[in-house]
């Protein structure tokens, strides 16, 4: 699996595309990464994102992300590198964040499936019919404290079946016990 470079992974930088955030490795895994590892997932990479996590994926740390089939085009959205990895079958499930289309745009542009959960109060419907919140603890944003337009974490994959499997696995891990948001 591959999370967007907002997710803390112990021992690795979480730069958000900012040069000033380089060489500052995370002290611990985000809740999502921790749960995924406990379930046996192998995190193979962190995917690029734009500085400030908005719009097209380009930043001074890692450069520009282009569409895998058309270098004159973009995969769209801030987790576009996540989408490119999935499109190229380099990852099975990726984890992006979304405010205004970041999961949905690259999913559309690359023929993938993506899920933008609802923010804060109701997000994922579990098998017992109760709603569950997103796993956002340890997912860094550049607008800390800005709560009026919340970002949510959601899966991206090459198939809807992979989205369902990944979502059900995260729900079964009871993330709300570790992340009250």
Phi, then psi, of 58 in degrees rounded to 5: -150, 135
* 116 catalytically annotated: no
Tens digit of each residue's pLDDT (9 = 90 or more) over 12-58: 998 888 888 899 999 999 999 999 999 999 999 988 888 766 667 78
Q: What does each C-alpha distance from 157 to 15, 24, 41 come to in angstroms?
A: 24, 29, 14
- Spell out the domain ranges in the chain: 2-177
107 assigned to active site: no
The CA distance from 163 to 75, in Å, is 19
pTM greater than 0.75 (yes/no): yes
Q: Phi first, then psi: what are they for 99, rounded to 5°?
A: -120, -60
Residues of the chain with pLDDT under 70: 52-55, 119-149, 181
Burial of 90 (0-12, 13-18, 19+ CB in 10 A): middle
Could you name the CATH architecture of 2-177?
Answer: Alpha-Beta Complex (3.90)
4 is catalytic: yes
The single residue of 102, 107, 113, 162 carrying the catalytic annotation is 102
| Catalytic choice (34, 47, 78, 151) | 78
């Amino acid at each position: 699996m591959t999370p967007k470079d907002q997710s803390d992974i112990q021992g690795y930088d979480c730069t958000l595309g900012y040069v000033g955030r380089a060489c500052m490795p995370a002290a611990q895994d985000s809740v999502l990464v921790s749960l995924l590892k406990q379930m046996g997932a192998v995190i193979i990479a962190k995917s690029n994102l734009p500085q400030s996590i908005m719009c097209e994926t380009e930043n001074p740390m890692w450069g520009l992300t282009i569409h895998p089939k058309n270098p004159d085009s973009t995969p769209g959205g801030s987790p576009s590198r996540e989408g490119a990895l999935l499109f190229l079958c380099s990852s099975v499930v990726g984890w992006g964040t979304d405010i205004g289309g970041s999961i949905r745009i690259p999913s559309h542009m690359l023929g993938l499936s993506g899920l933008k959960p609802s923010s804060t109060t109701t997000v994922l419907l579990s098998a017992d019919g109760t709603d569950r919140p997103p796993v956002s603890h340890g997912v860094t944003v550049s607008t800390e404290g800005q709560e009026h337009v919340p970002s949510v974490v959601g899966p991206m994959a090459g198939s809807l079946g992979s989205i369902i499997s990944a979502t059900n696995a995260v729900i079964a891990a009871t993330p709300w016990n570790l992340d009250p948001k």
